[in-house]
Amino acid sequence: MEEFTMLQSMLDILNSKHTKKKKGIIEALPILLDTYDVNEEIDVYNLIVTNAKNLCFQVLDPQSESLVWKDSDVSLDDLKSLLVYFIKIIKKQNSADIIQLFEYSIELTNKVDFKNCSNERIRNIGFCMQNIFMPGNGNMDNNTQLNNLRNRLLNILNEPYLNKNKLDAVVILLNNIVSTNYIDILWKHIKPIIKIHPNRIMNLLFNMQSLFFDSSCISVILNDDDFWNLICSLLTCENNVIRTYNNVILKLSYSQLLSDNVNYCPNKSKEQYVKVWNDYMVVMETLENTQQHLTLPILSTAKKLALNKTDDNYDNYKLPLKWITAMYCKMSKHSSKYVVLASIDIITNMPIISLKTNEQLLLSFVNSLNNVFLYKMSSDVFVNQPQLEIILSLWFNKLMMSNDGHDVFGIFLLYMPTIKWSIVPLTYLTKSLANISPDCPLRLNIIDHVLKIKTVIEKMPNSYLKTIVLTFLFTFTCKFTFDVNTEFNCDLFDCIIVYQNKTKSWNYIINSIQKINDLNYLDKQLSQRINEKNKMYSTSIGLLVLSNIFSNSPISINKLDEICCKMEDVSDLLEFLECLLEVEDHFGRYDTSVSQILSKHIWPIITNWVEKCFQILEENSCDDQVICRFLDKVLSSNRIVDSTNSMNIWLHKCYSILTNYSGNYSILAIYSWIGKYATKYSFEDKLKNDWLSFTKYFIDAGFFFINNQDFYRSRKPGMHQIPQLDIINTFFQHSTVPKEQMLGILEWLMDKTLERHDLYWSIYFSTAKTLLCKFPIQEHSQLIIQFIQNCWDFLVDCRVSCFPNATKSFIKMVFHNNLLLEEKYKTFIKNQVYYLLNMLSIL
């Protein structure tokens, strides 16, 4: 009796809110209770049942307030261990009591607000249920309150916002209150959630796999399309944890395939079919690795799975096409470029009808082509493998041979504008398109597709490759359509600039344009674009092209003649004329109607513009770069009429204005331009001598020294430097000054800071070369070495490849004979060259 009283007192202390030290009691209770025979001591057993309920309440309390153990030295784990001890005793003694305890626990649990309670509380509930719930007991499994709890938990799985920790806690709890008898009902409840939250359902399947893959339940999922669709869709999931879960479930599934499984193929034996699935599983698991030595051995297996069919019917593969698609998508996004190349090989060898019926394959294929490394590597993988652009060209040509191929090609073009392309992959892809040899007219209008692709290209930064891409696109389009589309044809005229006149490519383009159904309409559209600033370049090319085609002057050419005659706003006209001169120079044609108009109007326009510059000494509205380029192109095109008298007058006007510091960029550009003409093109010595004399005065007066003021005060600081550099360049080609002045000019040159532009720095280095040709190098070798080093550092900082013309001028300057005569300088250059060669050998 005394022992029972002591046991009662210990349990009262455990349940008391006032006693803080309880851990010793929890540790002593199991030892003490083991001394009793609960079968005989009914009072002791009743104490255990009562206190088991108390412990359940403390662990499961839905309010989670004023817990008796909270301020004591007892942890929740201590309580749970004691509860498990009590539950084991009750289970052995009386099943009715454990059912009552279970019902009491379910009643408490149903009062819990699962949405707002902590994840730890849900885990504690799961722990209790794991020890109390007996799946084989029908009274428990069919409990109404239990089914309500199950439904509440399943509803949480469908909540729009559910973090992973709460999801894991809910799944653990659900796993501890479900038996195999409930799996069929559970699957029906979670199936609608698959489309909305597939990752959550896979988490549940993985954590409850022992139930779902029990021999009595497995047919529930293996014979359901929704189950297989879920696995197939998650094979390419971005979440690597879910992919791992998914692979485990797939491996369990194919290892237990039934004869009536939805993926079973009657044309093969079950053993053969399981072998195919096994190969598939090996490929998919291996593709989870990034190491090349692991992935390369399975590529042949992947190709065999993707391309081997049971018969000639398009959908009778050894595996369903959607599973092959999942494997392909995984390969196409792999970090190993060899795996991606293998995936491209799969697509280009797959039956066309399969691609037509599964557009996801094509979308993944187009995405995979946006990878610059593929084009570099494709010629290095195997000696007998053609380059990727050739593979693509052959595949495109194969598509041209059938109506289904045309449909696939249309889908391919439809997807192209949806990709954020890098310029190099797009170059190779459009090159492959341009190489297509059409055997029959396409059954689709490619213009709409091409215009969308062109829109993507136009958003890319300007570069030579961008022009190349547009050229290939233009060539491709010309092969398939001659329907009029002004937006396409006019805007893509600037593609032709990459073609040299009278080459095969040039003739092909011209012949293609000639076949456009309504060339007159195109001519009218071009006439409306003349002098539009954002269309000048393509319009200039279009005019040159049309002037090659039309025997009579087209409307656009007449419009050009009309605009040149008016000369209302010469400044706006200069930029357009500069574009025309550049295009004419590129194609090397001076016998077209456009060239005749230029020859007719250039000199009157220049005369008019120069006179206006002298009348209005303000900043010119025309872009400074355009002025210099235009004047230089007029010189190079030899369109200056006999004008010695005019040039002399203009030279003296420029000199007068500049000596009074009242000029502007245009005046300085005109002065520089007259110097180039006088020294290179004119036979009049007076003009040349006067210009050299005036320039010598400017040098003597300190205009080209650091501390002196410039020719004029500009609102655009630094923009006047290009004409100044040209003046120095021209002067030192034909004259010189004392070495003290040359030193001052070099210091002035070293002090100049230009905008990072290839043309500007090309002029800068050319000017420096001309000056250094006559510089006393022996006396100032260290200064020259420092100057050369600074120039090279600048080019490296700018990336040499982005400054091709400047780099060429720099090389000419560095290796000029006058500099190489000095030993210190020669040694410096040798050391630099050796250093570069060593760096290249390391790379």
Mean pLDDT for the stretch of residues 13-29? 74
Mean pLDDT for the stretch of residues 606-629? 78
Identify the residue with better confidence: 423 or 528. Answer: 423
**Low-confidence winner among 153-167, 376-390, 417-431 (lowest mean pLDDT):** 376-390
| Cross-strand partners of 317 | 309
Give residue 827's identity as a one-letter amino acid code.
Answer: T
The listed range with the strongest mean pLDDT (264-273, 484-493, 512-521, 679-688) is 679-688
Confidence of residue 90 (pLDDT cuts 50, 70, 90): confident
3-state secondary structure of 741: helix
Q: Which of 614, 585, 496, 607 is nearest to 549 (CA)?
A: 496
Model pLDDT, residue 199:
94
- Round to whole Å and give the CA distance between 524 and 526: 5
Q: What is the pLDDT of residues 740-754, one digit of tens each?
A: 899 988 988 888 777
- Asked whether residue 785 is assigned to any structural domain, the reply reads yes
Q: Name the strand (E) or helix (H) holding 438.
A: none
Model pLDDT, residue 381:
45
What is the average pLDDT value for the chain, to the nearest integer? 81
- Asked whether residue 149 is assigned to any structural domain, the reply reads no
The model's pTM? 0.64
Confidence of residue 510 (pLDDT cuts 50, 70, 90): low
Model pLDDT, residue 654:
92
Is the predicted pLDDT of residue 380 greater than 60, yes or no? no
Confidence of residue 208 (pLDDT cuts 50, 70, 90): very high
Q: What is the pLDDT of residues 814-840, one digit of tens each?
A: 888 888 888 898 888 888 887 777 665
Task: Indicate if 620 and 540 belong to the same structural domain.
Answer: yes
Task: Indicate if 525 and 628 belong to the same structural domain.
Answer: yes
Task: Indicate if 525 and 602 belong to the same structural domain.
Answer: yes
Identify the residue with better confidence: 443 or 771. Answer: 771
Task: Indicate if 543 and 563 belong to the same structural domain.
Answer: yes
- Round to whole Å and give the CA distance between 368 and 343: 9
Task: Indicate if 774 and 679 belong to the same structural domain.
Answer: no
Which letter does DSSP use for residue 554 in this model? P
| Exposure class string for 131-142: b at 16+ Cβ within 10 A, else e | bbbbeeeeebbe
- Asked whether residue 725 is assigned to any structural domain, the reply reads yes
- The 10 Å Cβ neighbour count of residue 93 is 16
The tokens of 518 are what?
């309504």
Task: Indicate if 525 and 632 belong to the same structural domain.
Answer: yes
- Asked whether residue 369 is assigned to any structural domain, the reply reads no
The listed range with the strongest mean pLDDT (282-286, 494-498, 715-719) is 282-286
Task: Indicate if 637 and 660 belong to the same structural domain.
Answer: no
3-state secondary structure of 317: strand
Model pLDDT, residue 346:
93
**Low-confidence winner among 467-481, 485-499, 533-547, 584-598 (lowest mean pLDDT):** 485-499
Confidence of residue 66 (pLDDT cuts 50, 70, 90): very low
Q: Name the strand (E) or helix (H) holding 471.
A: helix 464-480
Is the predicted pLDDT of residue 78 greater than 80, yes or no? no
Identify the residue with better confidence: 324 or 523. Answer: 324
CA atoms within 13 A on the CB side of 690: 21
Mean pLDDT for the stretch of residues 309-316? 55
Residues spanned by the domain of 765: 750-843
- Asked whether residue 625 is assigned to any structural domain, the reply reads yes
Task: Indicate if 673 and 766 belong to the same structural domain.
Answer: no
Confidence of residue 608 (pLDDT cuts 50, 70, 90): confident
Is the predicted pLDDT of residue 383 greater than 60, yes or no? no
- Please count the structural domains in the chain: 3
Mean pLDDT for the stretch of residues 205-218? 90
- Asked whether residue 835 is assigned to any structural domain, the reply reads yes
Task: Indicate if 690 and 758 belong to the same structural domain.
Answer: no
In the structure, how many helices (H) and strands (E) does the chain have? Answer: 46, 0
Task: Indicate if 608 and 631 belong to the same structural domain.
Answer: yes
Task: Indicate if 705 and 786 belong to the same structural domain.
Answer: no
**Low-confidence winner among 82-91, 112-121, 376-385, 491-500 (lowest mean pLDDT):** 376-385
Phi-psi region of 64 (alpha: psi -120 to 50; beta: other; left: phi over 0): left
Helical residues (DSSP H) of 161-256, grouped into ranges: 164-175, 183-190, 198-207, 209-212, 218-222, 225-234, 240-254
693 phi, psi to nearest 5 deg: -65, -45
- Asked whether residue 182 is assigned to any structural domain, the reply reads no
Q: CB of 564 within 8 A of CB of 597?
A: yes
Identify the residue with better confidence: 241 or 625. Answer: 241
Q: CB of 110 within 8 A of CB of 148?
A: yes
| Exposure class string for 187-219: b at 16+ Cβ within 10 A, else e | bebbeebbeebbbbbbbbbbbbeebbbeeebbe
Is the predicted pLDDT of residue 15 greater than 80, yes or no? no
Identify the residue with better confidence: 337 or 136. Answer: 337
Which letter does DSSP use for residue 822 in this model? S
Task: Indicate if 716 and 777 belong to the same structural domain.
Answer: no
Is the predicted pLDDT of residue 496 greater than 60, yes or no? no
Phi-psi region of 291 (alpha: psi -120 to 50; beta: other; left: phi over 0): beta
The listed range with the strongest mean pLDDT (11-20, 52-61, 184-193) is 184-193
Identify the residue with better confidence: 40 or 688. Answer: 688
- The 10 Å Cβ neighbour count of residue 122 is 24
The tokens of 121 are what?
């509380």
Confidence of residue 209 (pLDDT cuts 50, 70, 90): very high
Which are the contacts of 550, defined by CB distance < 8 A and separation ≥ 6? Answer: 523, 557, 593
Domain C-terminal end among 680, 702, 735:
735
**Low-confidence winner among 445-454, 517-526, 580-589, 689-698 (lowest mean pLDDT):** 517-526
